[in-house]
Amino acid sequence: MKDKSNISKIVKDFLEIQSYCIKDIQEHSEIIDKIIKIIISARNANKTIFTMGNGGSGSTASHFVSDLQKTIILKNENRVKAISLVDNMPVILAWANDTSFENIFEEQLRNHIKKGDVVIAFSGSGKSKNVVNALRFANKQGAKCIGFTGKSGGDFNSICDVIFKIQSNDMLTIESQHVTICHCVVFGIRNLGKPMFKYD
């Protein structure tokens, strides 16, 4: 077991890594601009936004939909139609049990997706089979695909219309920064109008 006196250094090292990633995000803020514009366009055209991911990325997908459905409601603007594909456990388990875990997101999209909809995927590696399969299906249906990933970007590089890669190989860091970017998107949209709700 490592010396407990190293805890302070470990914490500082982690925070330093986060600071580095934040600086990199700032240098690539134009990608966030694109994501905001895609979401606003989908809102204005009454298109649906779908999110997905596994594990921590799944919780980010669910969290983002919560913000899309409520936090970014603006006065005199359409509400965002957003669905998290990670939140209906019975349907997820049914597809996983009866076919394959690799189909759990694609099969849900088959029930809903239309041309012009938006699919937002979260994956630290960009290689999660169930997420990649769903993105490929969404592409074929004429949906706009946005990917949040890290490392080299994996399969997201060839599938997504817009991709944000966190410059780290550490999953905790990648997932932390994905939440930060999502909140940046939410903050940006809220400040483009008059929010229905204030958080003082």
Domain ranges of the chain: 4-190
Does 113 score more than 60 pLDDT? yes
What pLDDT is attached to residue 189? 98
All residues at 6 or more sequence positions from 169 whose CB lies less than 8 Å from its CB, including other chains: 150, 151
* Mean pLDDT for the stretch of residues 117-146: 98
Task: Please report which confidence band the pLDDT of residue 151 belongs to, taking 50, 70 and 90 as the band edges.
Answer: confident
Quote the mean pLDDT of the chain: 96
180: tokens are: 């930060």
Query: How far is residue 31's CA from residue 106's CA, in Å, rounded to a whole number?
Result: 26
- pLDDT band at 90, cuts 50/70/90? very high
Q: What gap in Å lies between CA 116 and CA 48, rounded to an integer?
A: 8
- Predicted confidence at residue 2, as pLDDT, reads 58
CATH number of 4-190: 3.40.50.10490
180: CB partners within 8 A, 6+ apart: 22, 25
Residues constituting the chain: 200
Q: Residue 1 pLDDT more than 90?
A: no
- What pLDDT is recorded for position 12? 95
The whole-number average pLDDT for the span 86-108 is 98
Q: What percent of the chain has pLDDT over 90?
A: 94
Averaged pLDDT for residues 128-157: 97
**Predicted confidence (pLDDT) per residue in 8-26, tens digit:** 999 999 999 999 999 999 9
Per DSSP, what are the bridge partners of residue 127? none
